[in-house]
Structure 1
Amino acid sequence: MRVLLGLSVASALRLALAFVIDTKRATVCNGRAELCNRSYGNITFIGAHDSFAESEDPFALARDQDVDITTQLNDGVRLLQAQSHMNNGVLHFCHTNCILFDGGTVLDYLKTVKSWLDAHPTEVLTLLFTNPEGVSIPGVWAPAFDLSGVAAMAYIPPNMPMKQSDWPTLGELLGNGTRVVVFMDAGADGADGSVPFILPEFQMIWETPYGFTDATFPCSVNRTSGPLDTTDHMYMINHSLNVDIIFSLTVSDPIEASVTNSVDSILANAYGCTQFANGRAPNFILLDWVDVGQAYQAADILNGFRT
């Protein structure tokens, strides 16, 4: 007991989690023994775009998913993306604004994620959140992570920014009890105070353009920042097809989802981007309608598990 007296609650929880997971780290990581010794920076993960924006109502035009985040995770999604907005003084996940689609509070969302993680102790998960209103990271975001319990599971890099080649293996993340990697698109540069587990996305990940209405998904480096060279970043392809409906308003296209999320379409997009990454496959493939198509088969191919 005296050993733990000088530790924070989060640090004590990290040690406890590491003790529980350590015996399993060499046998299975994210469902495969082969991934335990593979770097986080050298794996392709399937991601859910606007993961909170789930509805079965075909007239809910702001929806991007058919199934909730627990089902997404059960199906194999290992990156959850979400857009935040303040709503009556509380941080919510909303699509464009909270009138159009309100996915509930960030705290409730993170509690759901934590419950799933507790039930799946050999899984590494990435969270990628957008912060378009520049909400304070230490003042608003960090308390939600702390109260949900996710903060105690979050990875803190030994140095910043981390090169793609420097990330630990999945086995190491699991063994250390730090199996949640958190990225933020804006505000995580420490300008308003440091929260070391909320990482600045574009310093370590570049993205392709988004909002495509062209089903060929031409690849280019769209969003990134220094100081690392682009080839030292991980990268994410935005593989979601939109359709124009009226007055230049575009929405995600569920009708073509089975084609967009097919092996052929995903691989064509992925292989078209390798020219910008020294031949490497994408780290993250961000999709709408993740329950439709063959995304997980495509990820298996990119990870070398099938041809």
Structure 2
Amino acid sequence: MHPFAIGLFLVAFFSGGWAAFLPVKRATVCNGHPELCNRSYGNVTHLGAHDSFAFSEDPLALARDQEVDIPSQLDLGVRLLQAQSHMNDGVLHFCHTSCALFDGGSVQDYLSTVLTWLNSNPNEVVTFIFTNPENVSLPDVWAPAFEDSGISDLLYIPPVVPMKQSDWPTLGDLIDSGKRVIAFLDFGAETDSVPFILPEFEMIWEDPFSVTDPTFPCSVNRIQGPLATTDHMYMINHSLDIDVFDTGILISDPEDAPTTNGVTSIIANANGCAPLSAGRAPNFVLLDYVNIGEGLQAVNQLNGLS
């Protein structure tokens, strides 16, 4: 056969019907562990960074809740990034309480940073839980930030909303589909107009936040929607605050972070919440100062990993 004809044959072979019989590549390591590939997203515990944007190495930066930047948090095993939004000069930013107190930059730039990390780590599933205290428009402001950053192409859209904890696809399926980012918003989600930003409390309940009691007593603090509590995923807010001179002003407690982020404290909090969710471990463990303590070790234990 003429070489040109052979070339056409090979093109036809790999682009035509026969290509359908070639094996589909399957993820074999998911979020760092082969054991998690066949595990439902709704049955995995993820390490989370509270106020992930609010990082600083300066101990005098009292509004910080993290010491290391976003890529470093992800490199440490964080797979849930939490952040609070505020408008700043007409642009959506991530800020701590107000942008005058701690401005973490624009949401679009933040998402672009995460996308760069995801492109270098193709076998990872990452979750966002963002707050929207100013009820900023999803179609007009939130959606463009996701789309212009380029990360919207990776966002998973469930077949139904709300979706039960037991109905989520596996981590392997999410990675194989290319839709390996899940974005939740605490308030104002409009899935009819922006289907890739999901209502948090219809599918995730949380225990109390701004906790000053190191025993972390558990209760269902925030929940919405028609699903039963046990059909929700859930997050434990395992970040300890201190009341500055009994003024009611709360700041995160870095001195106790080695204990707060220790295996004993995290597992105790998880065990305290499990009876409220049919004995299941939390889906998300949210920490301040993720570079301190044993957060990933505790999450691995909750996932049944060595």
1:151 maps to which residue? 152
Q: Any conservation in 1 of the 2:54–2:64 contact (CA below 8 Å)?
A: yes
Q: How does 1:160-199 map onto structure 2 within 5 Å?
A: 160-190=161-191, 194-199=193-198
**Using the alignment, how far apart are the partners of 1:136 and 1:108 within structure 2?**
18
2:101 maps to which residue? 100
Q: Which amino acid aligns with 1:218?
A: P
1:52 maps to which residue? 53
Shift of 1:302: 0.5
Shift of 1:289: 0.3
2:258 maps to which residue? 258
Q: Any conservation in 2 of the 1:25–1:122 contact (CA below 8 Å)?
A: no
**Using the alignment, how far apart are the partners of 1:186 and 1:179 within structure 2?**
22
Flag the 1:89–1:26 CA change in 2: closer, same or farther, 3 A: closer
1:224 maps to which residue? 223
Aligned length: 283
**Using the alignment, how far apart are the partners of 1:273 and 1:199 within structure 2?**
24
**Using the alignment, how far apart are the partners of 1:24 and 1:68 within structure 2?**
33
Q: How does 1:259-274 map onto structure 2 within 5 Å?
A: 259-274=259-274
Q: Secondary structure at the match of 2:201?
A: helix
1:116 maps to which residue? 117
Q: Any conservation in 1 of the 2:138–2:190 contact (CA below 8 Å)?
A: no
1:121-158 superposed Cα distances (whole Å, 9 cap, x missing partner):
00000011000000000110001111111100000000
Q: Which amino acid aligns with 2:244?
A: I
1:61 maps to which residue? 62
Q: Secondary structure at the match of 1:214?
A: coil
1:270-294 superposed Cα distances (whole Å, 9 cap, x missing partner):
0000010000000000000000000
1:90 maps to which residue? 91
2:278 maps to which residue? 278
Q: Comparing 238-247 with 131-140, which one deviates more in the overlay? A: 238-247
Q: Which amino acid aligns with 2:76?
A: D
Shift of 1:24: 5.5
1:212 maps to which residue? 211
Shift of 1:26: 3.6
**Using the alignment, how far apart are the partners of 1:216 and 1:53 within structure 2?**
25
Q: Secondary structure at the match of 1:128?
A: strand
Shift of 1:36: 0.7
Shift of 1:303: 0.4
Q: Any conservation in 1 of the 2:212–2:240 contact (CA below 8 Å)?
A: yes
Flag the 1:248–1:112 CA change in 2: closer, same or farther, 3 A: same
1:11-63 superposed Cα distances (whole Å, 9 cap, x missing partner):
xxxxxxxxxxx966341111111111000000000000000000111111110
Which of the two has higher C-alpha Rg? Answer: 2
Q: Which amino acid aligns with 1:156?
A: I
**Using the alignment, how far apart are the partners of 1:208 and 1:23 within structure 2?**
41
Q: Secondary structure at the match of 2:172?
A: helix
1:11 maps to which residue? none
Flag the 1:125–1:84 CA change in 2: closer, same or farther, 3 A: same
Q: Secondary structure at the match of 1:269?
A: helix
Q: Any conservation in 2 of the 1:25–1:36 contact (CA below 8 Å)?
A: no
Q: How does 1:231-246 map onto structure 2 within 5 Å?
A: 231-246=230-245
Q: Any conservation in 2 of the 1:24–1:122 contact (CA below 8 Å)?
A: no
Q: Which amino acid aligns with 1:260?
A: T
Q: Which amino acid aligns with 2:197?
A: I
Q: Any conservation in 2 of the 1:126–1:180 contact (CA below 8 Å)?
A: yes
Q: Does 1:203 align with 2:202?
A: yes
Shift of 1:165: 0.1
Q: Any conservation in 1 of the 2:49–2:81 contact (CA below 8 Å)?
A: yes
Q: Which amino acid aligns with 2:255?
A: I
**Using the alignment, how far apart are the partners of 2:136 and 2:106 within structure 1?**
14
Q: Secondary structure at the match of 1:203?
A: coil
Gaps of 5+ in 2: 1-22
**Using the alignment, how far apart are the partners of 2:243 and 2:55 within structure 1?**
20
2:248 maps to which residue? 248
Q: Which amino acid aligns with 1:100?
A: L
Gaps of 5+ in 1: 1-21
Shift of 1:194: 1.5
Flag the 1:24–1:34 CA change in 2: closer, same or farther, 3 A: farther
Q: Secondary structure at the match of 1:60?
A: coil
**Using the alignment, how far apart are the partners of 1:119 and 1:44 within structure 2?**
23
Q: Any conservation in 2 of the 1:219–1:272 contact (CA below 8 Å)?
A: yes
Q: Which amino acid aligns with 2:295?
A: A
